[in-house]
Amino acid sequence: MFDLELSAEEKEVIISQVSEILGQHKHNCENLVPMLQEVQQKLGYVPELAMEIIADALGVPAVSVYGIVTFYNQLRLNPPGDHEIKVCMGTACHMIGGQIILDSFERRLEIVEGETTLDRKFSLERVACVGCCAIAPVVVVDDYVDGKVTPTRVDGILLAFENTGKDKKQEQQEEKGEGQE
């Protein structure tokens, strides 16, 4: 179903979080969406393993849970990347080349919209409107807004974030005081 491989540590976290969520709900199908929303909130996405555990607990086929996850736009199938790239597809951005910009990111990152790169450095998504129509087409990487983006600028935008030297995991470890000597 997915190309991303989970480490043993990630699997343990998923099992632990999903078990906790299952412990807070009655195991019936009425609670499926709230369970999935909680998984999304805690993990940032709904991994295949979580869907299988929930399906098993509810006694429904995993494909039914997958169908619910893919039905709702709020639920993600892939973990967010260290850097989240959002390409605006509002009317102004769409008219001035938003789709071309999205295509450029997809080719450069070798993923399609809604996916995360295998190294989990970048995730790519389209958004309806970021409210910066005067500088269309617009790309938002993390909290940084870049306007009047052209396909030739895509490599430069990615390079700026590839060379930050830190990713979210490193930042989180530093915040916790881990990894410091």
How do residues 118-128 score in pLDDT, each as one tens digit?
889 999 999 99
Under DSSP, the state recorded for 151 is G
CA angle 130, 76, 29 (to 5 degrees): 130
pLDDT tens figures, 37-78: 999 999 999 999 999 999 999 999 999 999 999 999 889 898
pLDDT recorded at residue 74: 86
- The DSSP string of 92-130 is HHHHTTHHHHHHHHHHHHT--TT-B-TTSSEEEEEES--
Residue 1 has pLDDT above 50, yes or no: no
Mean pLDDT of all residues in 82-94: 95
